[in-house]
């Protein structure tokens, strides 16, 4: 993700994500006279039934957003089949998953009202709780290692979905007349489909969106089909992601879009720009998006092959709180930022670098944000040098000199910035730390580390990255890590911190 749109970005990039979602428990109150009966019932239950597995927590245990996601299973694929009308989104999502422990319950994140749930084709009881938690009671035990299928029917107004602690104006669902859609970080899926909403659990996705005729529905991956005029008054757009992706990396935009599609370098591409922009702006925005293959090729020189099957980009009409978001295969861009000639190239490079750092290699927890934003910001420096700009080391020294006396900036440790400051300093401190590492271990080791890290898919942590750095060098990196990742003051300008002799 790039920071706030260029025209509204504060000097220090402070972006506060919604607070974590909590869930309240409940108490059973029994009259005193019921105690003997209760004892008998409990004894019968113990003798006659095998013990039920402990239900996993309704959350993945993230240190910043502990109620996001779920435990006890690995999501394998999602089929999201929805109809989007003026104010209502409704449909069915099919979740295929594998149990990682014995399960009685399956938890999903969804903020829309649910009407029916089945597990492996059988009707299932369910309840919704605070914080967009949907608890599904499996009709029969799900054994560890067992694949199972949950189908959820639901409908509601996404603009009415709220996460606990969410600030006004931070909903990831946008609507302006017939134009609407969803994109956001750290969460967005609960506004339109049920999911294990945590980046540590990537899965395959298909999206079928039924919209009023004359409107387009843009999403991630490959455009499989569009059934235009096959149903009176409605069109259906079918998209499929061919590689696993985290839930926040999905999006859906519905409206009137000017679309450019084709193939380049053997890959299909789809670029989409809202017709709310003027014709001249549409031309300019499509021209910027058309540079995507060029920037991808530039990044492949350092990071190895592009990790996905498709290319693309979308520019909706909304005023986002971010300049760009790394939705997989097709980043979502803020139009004001992409129309700025002095910023457009940097924005494209940053979001496309996320296809490796953030999408192919995704977060293990939200305190691992360095693995996304530190690397994507560093690639801006690498590409800028090849285009005749300053070297990454010159950029590092310049940034350090500008920030060295900013105590509030350095007070945020990069390995644990906190939920309220997760995006606060990583865009600047992250690339500085990486260049310092490069200075310490040398170009060959750094290049090998960068490419190997980018080419190995899956969820990984900052601790994983720290361990990997020791595998490529004999240099003692503890002083570097303590200064750049854990320190709460500016790193001293000494060789051990990567400033050179």
Binding-site members for Zn(2+) are 350, 354, 373
Q: Which residues contact 8 (CB under 8 A, 6 or more apart)?
A: none
User: 347 is written with which tokens?
Assistant: 């924005």
Residue in 58, 327, 345, 387 with CA at minimum distance from that of residue 207: 327
Instruction: Measure the CA–CA gap between 191 and 183, rounded to whole angstroms.
Output: 10
Residue in 461, 447, 248, 240 with CA at minimum distance from that of residue 369: 461
Residue in 245, 220, 187 with CA at minimum distance from that of residue 422: 187
- Over 339-397, what HEC string results? CCCCCHHHHHHHHHHCCCECCCEEECCHHHCHHHHHHHHHHHHHHHHHCCCCCHHHHHH
Q: Confirm if 271 and 253 have CB atoms less than 8 A apart.
A: no
CA dihedral of residues 390, 353, 431, 449 (deg, nearest 10): -100
Instruction: Measure the CA–CA gap between 333 and 316, rounded to whole angstroms.
Output: 7
**Feature table: binding site:** 350, 354, 373
């Amino acid at each position: 993700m790039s920071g706030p749109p260029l025209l509204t970005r504060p000097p220090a990039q402070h972006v506060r994500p919604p607070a974590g979602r909590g869930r309240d428990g409940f108490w059973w109150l029994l009259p005193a006279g019921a105690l003997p009966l209760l004892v008998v019932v409990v004894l019968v239950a113990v003798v006659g039934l095998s013990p039920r597995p402990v239900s996993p927590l309704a959350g993945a245990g993230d240190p910043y957003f502990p109620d996001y996601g779920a435990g006890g299973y690995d999501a394998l694929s999602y089929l999201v089949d929805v109809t989007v009308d003026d104010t209502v989104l409704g449909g069915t999502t099919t979740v295929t998953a594998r149990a990682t422990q014995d399960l009685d319950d399956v938890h999903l994140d969804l903020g829309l009202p649910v009407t029916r749930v089945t597990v492996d084709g059988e009707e299932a009881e369910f309840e919704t709780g605070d914080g967009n938690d949907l608890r599904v009671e499996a009709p029969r035990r799900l054994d560890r290692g067992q694949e199972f299928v949950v189908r959820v029917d639901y409908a509601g107004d996404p603009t009415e979905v709220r996460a606990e602690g969410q600030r006004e104006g931070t909903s990831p669902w946008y609507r302006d007349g017939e134009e609407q859609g969803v994109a956001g970080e750290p969460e967005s899926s609960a506004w339109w489909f049920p999911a294990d909403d945590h980046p540590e659990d990537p899965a395959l996705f298909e999206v079928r969106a039924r919209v009023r005729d004359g409107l387009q529905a843009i999403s991630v991956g490959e455009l499989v089909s569009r059934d235009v005029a096959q149903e009176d008054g409605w069109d259906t757009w079918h998209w499929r992601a061919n590689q696993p992706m985290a839930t926040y990396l999905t999006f859906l935009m519905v409206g009137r879009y000017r679309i450019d599609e084709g193939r380049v370098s053997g890959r299909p591409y789809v670029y989409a720009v809202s017709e709310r922009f003027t014709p001249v702006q549409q031309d300019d925005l499509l021209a910027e998006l058309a540079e995507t293959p060029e920037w991808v090729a530039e990044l492949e020189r350092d990071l190895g092959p592009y990790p996905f099957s498709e290319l693309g980009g979308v520019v909706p009409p909304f005023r986002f709180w971010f300049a760009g978001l790394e939705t997989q295969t097709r980043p979502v861009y803020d139009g004001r930022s992409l129309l700025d000639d002095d910023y457009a190239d940097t924005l494209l490079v940053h979001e496309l670098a996320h296809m490796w750092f953030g999408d192919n290699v995704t977060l293990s927890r939200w305190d691992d944000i360095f693995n996304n934003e530190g690397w994507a910001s560093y690639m801006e420096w690498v590409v800028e040098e090849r285009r005749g700009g300053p070297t990454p080391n010159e950029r590092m020294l310049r940034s350090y000199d500008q920030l060295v006396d900013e105590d509030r900036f350095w007070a945020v440790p990069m390995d644990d910035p906190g939920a309220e400051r997760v995006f606060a300093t990583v865009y600047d401190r992250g690339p500085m730390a990486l260049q310092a590492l490069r200075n310490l271990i040398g170009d060959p080791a750094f290049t090998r580390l960068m490419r190997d890290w980018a080419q190995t898919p899956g969820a990984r942590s900052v601790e994983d990255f720290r361990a990997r750095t020791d595998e490529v060098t004999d240099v003692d990196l503890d002083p570097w890590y303590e200064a750049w990742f854990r320190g709460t003051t500016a790193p001293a300008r000494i060789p051990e911190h990567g400033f050179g002799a």
